[in-house]
Structure 1
Amino acid sequence: MRVKVKKVCKALFLMGFTVVISGCNHKEASKANEMIFPKGITVAENRFVDDLGRQVILSGINVVSKNKKENYLFRGGPEFYRDLKKWGFNSIRFIMIWDGLEPEPGVYNEAYLQEIDKRIQWAGDNGLFVILDMHQDLFSVKYADGAPEWATLDEGKSHITGDVWSDAYMMSPAVQTAFDNFWANKEVPNGVGLQDHYANLWQHIAKRYADNPTVIGYDVMNEPFPGSAALEATPILLKAYGELLYSISGQQRTEEELMLIWGDVNQRTEALKHIASQENFAKVIDALFPLTQTFESEFLQPFYQKVSNAIREVDSRSILFLEHSYFGNMGVRSSIERTKLPNGEYDPLVAYAPHGYDLVTDTEKASEASSERVNFIYNRIKEKGNALGMPVWMGEWGAFYDHGEGIVSVAQHAMDQIETHNYGNAYWSYDPGMEHQSYFKQVIIRPYPAYINGELVGYGNNFEKNILQVRWREDKNNKAPTIIYIPKLSSLDQENIDGSFNHKINRISKSDACWLIIPAIGQNEDRELTVSFNRS
C-alpha cells in the first residue's frame, strides 16, 4: 500500500470524532490528542490496559538521584520531561528515597513531596505515566542509599566493600544486620517497628496520589535482600560451580580455591565462561532456589501484604508492583505471590516487577554479556509472570552507562527479549548526555506499539534490517485507534507501510518524532503492520 502524507492540516473522521493532525490549530490538536491518548492505566488480568480499553506497552526509563545534596531529586526540569516524550517513552520509574521522605520517625518531609508533585505534573503534562519506586541499595544511606540512619539498626557491625559496589551485600555484616532487623520488624526508640514505619510511609504516599491518574502505581521495595541468610548463598553457589567444573574437566577444586576465583574480578569473568550456556547456568543458579524460597515465603510475602494492607486502606485504584528478591535478578525462580485484599480475595491490581541483569553488569566486562544467560533470565521472568497471571513490567534492565559501541549488540539482544515477551520496561537509568550514546540512539529509542486496540499478538524490531513488525487481534467493540511510536518521521518509509488500513501521522512538538495512528476497523480481525525506516 502506498500512502502519501502531505504537510498540511488534515482531519480524519475516526471513532465518531475528528482527529486533527499536526499543523492545525494548537487547541484543536490538543483536544484531539486528549481523545486518542490515554488518561489512565490499570491492569486487566495479565495485561496493562488504558482507560480506552487498549492494551498498553509501558516503555519507560528510571529517573533517579541518589544524591542527598541534590535532595534526592533529578536535576532535569520541564524540558527534560518534554525530551522523554519526544524520545517515545510513555512512562517513568520515579525513584524516591526513604531518607528523604521520613528524615525522623513518623515525620514526613512535605517539601520533598511537593518537589515530587512538581515532577509528576511535568510527567503528566507530557503523557508520561509514573510508577513510584521506594529505592534502596545496600539498605541505607549509611552505605549507599535508602533507609535513614535512624532506621538502620546495624548493631555497630563493620561495613565491608568489594571491587563491585554490590559485593557489599555479601560481604558487609552491617548491611546484613540492618536487613535482618528490618525483616524482624524491630522497634525503633518510639516503639514502632521498622516495617510498620515503612508501611505507614507508603500509606501516606498512596493517600496523596490515590486520585492522581498520572501515578499508576507503587513499586513497593527495590531489590529486597535476605540479610544474613544470604551468607548461605556463597557456599551453595561455590559447591554447585565446583560440581559443574568437575563434570566438565574432571578437575576438583577446594572451596578455598573457588573462593579465590570468585573473589577476583578478572578470574571471576573467566569463570563465568563456564556458565555461559543456559544448561550450565541453570545447574549453578538453581541451587539457590531453596534459600530464596524460604526468604520470599516467610519474610518478603508477609511484608508485601503488610504494605498492601496499608495502601489499600486509602487507595483502591493504583497498581502494586511486586519485585522478586535480589537473587531473582540472576534468574533464580521466585516464590512471591499475589497480595490479598482486606476481604481475603486476591488483589486484581498487581503486577510482577522483576529486574533482569547479566552477571557482568556493573563491571568493565559488561559488553561481554552472555546472550544465553540473558535468555535464561528473561524466560524465567516469563514463567513467573504466567504462573502469577500478572502483567510483567521490568522495572530495571540495561545499566549500559558509557560502555561504547561494544554494548550496542548487548542492548539489541536484551531489547529483542523484551519485545519477544511483550514486557513493559523501564531502562536503568537516565544519565545526562546518554542520548548521545549509540545504544540509546539505536536501541532504547526505537519504534514500538504503545497503545493497541485489542490484543497484542507480537511485535519486534529487526535492528539489522530497520523494520518494525506488529501483529494484533483487534476488538470490534473498541473504537480507539492503535498508536505506534516512530522516532524519526523523516526516516519513515511511507511508501512501504504494509497493511490493509489507512493511517495518519501525529507529530510530537519540536521534534522529528511522531505517533502513527491506525484507525479502528470495528471488526474482530487479525492485523499486521510492517514499517520500514532508516536510522541514518
Structure 2
Amino acid sequence: MHRSAGFALAALLLTIGTSATAVAGTPPRAAEPARAAALTRLHATSAHAFVDSTGAQHLLIGPNLQPVWDANETDTWDQGTYDSIKAKGFTAVRMVLFWDMFQPTEAEWNETAFDTLATAVERAKAAGLYVILDCVHMSGDPDGQEHVPDWARVDPDDTTEGLDAVVENGLGFLQTIANRYKDEPAIAAYDPVNEPFRTSTRSARLMSDYTRIVNAIRAKDVVTSIMLEPSYGDAKVPASSFSSLTPTSRTNLIWSIHDYYNGASKSGYTAGYNDATGLGMDPNPSDGTTGYDPANKAALAAHLQVQIDTASEQGMPVWIGEFGIGNGATGHDQYIKDKVALYKSKGIDYAWWEYYSDGGNGPFSMVDENDAWRSWVSLIP
C-alpha cells in the first residue's frame, strides 16, 4: 500500500466478527473439498521467485489478508475461507502481521497471537496455499510505526527513521518467526519489512539495513527465501546502492515491489519514477480512487522493467507483493487485465491488495459487504 494511504486493519477487521464464517461459505459448496496434497519446499533462482527441487516454477498468486485480528483473541478466517480462495484459482496468500500484537513488551511474547497465526498457516496449508509472511507491516504514523510496539519505537529526526525501530529492536521478532517456521514448507518466503520507512535517497543505507535483517533471519533459518523491498512500494534503487547489501549469503533472496503505477506521466518523472527521489508516481490507484486509462498500457511495462532490470543485475527474481485499484475506479477491470497480462508475460508472481473497498475486510477486498466474491476476481489468477 502506498505510504500516504490510511491503515486501520485491526479496527476494521474487528468489526466483521462472525462474518468471517459467512465469507468462508462464499460461494456455497456442495461438499467439503478434499484436502490438498502436501506442499513441497520452494526456493528462489535468479529468474524465478519460487521453484521446487526439480526446477519447476510455481506461480504464487493470491490475496493479501490479515490472519490475526486481535492480539488477545483467537478468531481468524476459518478453513472454508482458504478453501474458497484455493477454489478461485489462487495458489498463495500474503499474511499481514502487526508486530505489536506479537511482542507487547521487549521481554514478552504473546502466545495467543502466535497460536492464531499457526492456525492460519495450517488452514492455508490444508487448502494447498503457500504463505508469504509479511512480518513487520510498517504503515501509518509516526513514520510507519503505527503497529510497532511502544517500547520499540524511535523518534524520527533528520537521521533516525521508522525503519530504525526494526533494525535496532525488531531483529529478535524476525528471528522468532524464522525459528518457528524454518521447517515449514508451506512458508514460501519471509517478507521481513513492508515498505521500509527509509528515505528513498538513502537506498544504500536501506541495503545495509537489509544486510542486518537477512543475517539475523539466516542465523535461525538458512533455507526459506527472504524478500527485500525498496522504500515505499516501488521506489527506484540505483545499482550503486547494492554495494551495501553484503549478507553472509545472498541465496534465496527475492526483490519484492508494490506496483500500483497506472501509466500516467507528468513533468519530473521518467517511466513513472521521480527523477530526483526515485519514488513512484503519486497519486496512484493505491488511494482507492485514482483510475486507469488503457491508453497508458505500454507505460506499465516500462515502469516494471526498471525493477526487473534492477533485480536481474543483482541475481534476484521479482515478486509483486501488492497491486490493486479501487473498486469502481475508472478503468478498474482493464487495469487488472493489463497488469495481470504483463506479469504473466514476464513469468512474475503477484498478490492483490486494494484497501479502500466496502465490506471492512481490509486487504482481503475480493469479497464485498455481503461477503460475496466480487465479479472481477476471476480476472486476477
Q: Return the TM-score normalized by structure 1.
A: 0.53
Q: Give yes or no for contact 2:288–2:326 (8 Å, CA) kept in 1.
A: no
Q: Give yes or no for contact 2:366–2:377 (8 Å, CA) kept in 1.
A: no
Partner of 1:217: 189
The answer to whether the aligner puts 1:55 opposite 2:57 as a matched pair is yes
Name the aligned partner's letter for residue 440 of structure 1.
Answer: V
- From the superposition, tell whether residues 321 and 437 of structure 1 become closer, same or farther in structure 2 (CA, over 3 Å): same
Question: Paired residue for 2:365, among 431, 436, 440?
Answer: 431
The aligned runs of 1:258-269 (5 Å cut-off) are: none
Q: Give yes or no for contact 1:101–1:109 (8 Å, CA) kept in 2.
A: yes
Q: Which has the higher strand share?
A: 1
Question: Paired residue for 2:320, among 394, 404, 426?
Answer: 394
Partner of 2:218: 312
The Cα of 1:60 is off from its aligned counterpart by: 2.0
Stretches of structure 1 that go unaligned for 5 or more consecutive residues are 1-25, 155-175, 186-193, 231-291, 446-536
Stretches of structure 2 that go unaligned for 5 or more consecutive residues are 1-31, 262-282, 354-362
Partner of 1:180: 160
- From the superposition, tell whether residues 300 and 60 of structure 1 become closer, same or farther in structure 2 (CA, over 3 Å): same
Name the aligned partner's letter for residue 295 of structure 1.
Answer: R
The answer to whether the aligner puts 1:384 opposite 2:310 as a matched pair is yes
Partner of 2:377: 440
Name the aligned partner's letter for residue 101 of structure 2.
Answer: G
The Cα of 1:433 is off from its aligned counterpart by: 2.0
The Cα of 1:372 is off from its aligned counterpart by: 4.4
| CA distance in structure 2 between the aligned counterparts of 1:131 and 1:114, rounded to whole angstroms | 17
Partner of 2:138: 136
| CA distance in structure 1 between the aligned counterparts of 2:301 and 2:75, rounded to whole angstroms | 32
Partner of 1:324: 230
**Count of residue pairs the alignment pairs up:** 312
Name the aligned partner's letter for residue 314 of structure 1.
Answer: K
| CA distance in structure 1 between the aligned counterparts of 2:150 and 2:157, rounded to whole angstroms | 14
Partner of 1:198: 170
Report which structure shows greater RCO (CA 8 Å, sep ≥6): 2
Q: Give yes or no for contact 2:67–2:120 (8 Å, CA) kept in 1.
A: no
Name the aligned partner's letter for residue 365 of structure 2.
Answer: D
| CA distance in structure 2 between the aligned counterparts of 1:367 and 1:72, rounded to whole angstroms | 40
Output one character per residue of 1:175-195: Cα deviation in whole Å (capped at 9) or x when no partner. Answer: x5498255556xxxxxxxx52
> Quick one: percent identity of the two aligned structures?
24
The Cα of 1:360 is off from its aligned counterpart by: 2.3
The Cα of 1:406 is off from its aligned counterpart by: 3.7
- From the superposition, tell whether residues 430 and 93 of structure 1 become closer, same or farther in structure 2 (CA, over 3 Å): same
Name the aligned partner's letter for residue 387 of structure 1.
Answer: E
- From the superposition, tell whether residues 73 and 49 of structure 1 become closer, same or farther in structure 2 (CA, over 3 Å): farther
Q: Give yes or no for contact 1:338–1:347 (8 Å, CA) kept in 2.
A: no
Output one character per residue of 1:331-351: Cα deviation in whole Å (capped at 9) or x when no partner. Answer: 565744695554xxx421111
SS at match of 2:97: strand
Output one character per residue of 1:293-324: Cα deviation in whole Å (capped at 9) or x when no partner. Answer: x5111x21121111112111111111011111
Q: Give yes or no for contact 1:333–1:380 (8 Å, CA) kept in 2.
A: no
Name the aligned partner's letter for residue 311 of structure 1.
Answer: I
| CA distance in structure 1 between the aligned counterparts of 2:90 and 2:243, rounded to whole angstroms | 29
The Cα of 1:98 is off from its aligned counterpart by: 1.0
Q: Is the deviation greater in 77-86 or in 176-185? A: 176-185
Partner of 2:45: 44
Name the aligned partner's letter for residue 376 of structure 1.
Answer: A
- From the superposition, tell whether residues 313 and 143 of structure 1 become closer, same or farther in structure 2 (CA, over 3 Å): closer
SS at match of 2:365: coil
| CA distance in structure 1 between the aligned counterparts of 2:159 and 2:114, rounded to whole angstroms | 26
Q: Which has the higher helix share?
A: 1
Output one character per residue of 1:445-483: Cα deviation in whole Å (capped at 9) or x when no partner. Answer: 4xxxxxxxxxxxxxxxxxxxxxxxxxxxxxxxxxxxxxx
SS at match of 1:329: coil
| CA distance in structure 1 between the aligned counterparts of 2:78 and 2:244, rounded to whole angstroms | 36
Q: Give yes or no for contact 1:42–1:349 (8 Å, CA) kept in 2.
A: yes
From the CA coordinates, give the structure whose radius of gyration is larger: 1
SS at match of 1:220: strand
| CA distance in structure 1 between the aligned counterparts of 2:284 and 2:82, rounded to whole angstroms | 31
Output one character per residue of 1:54-73: Cα deviation in whole Å (capped at 9) or x when no partner. Answer: 11211122112696x57698
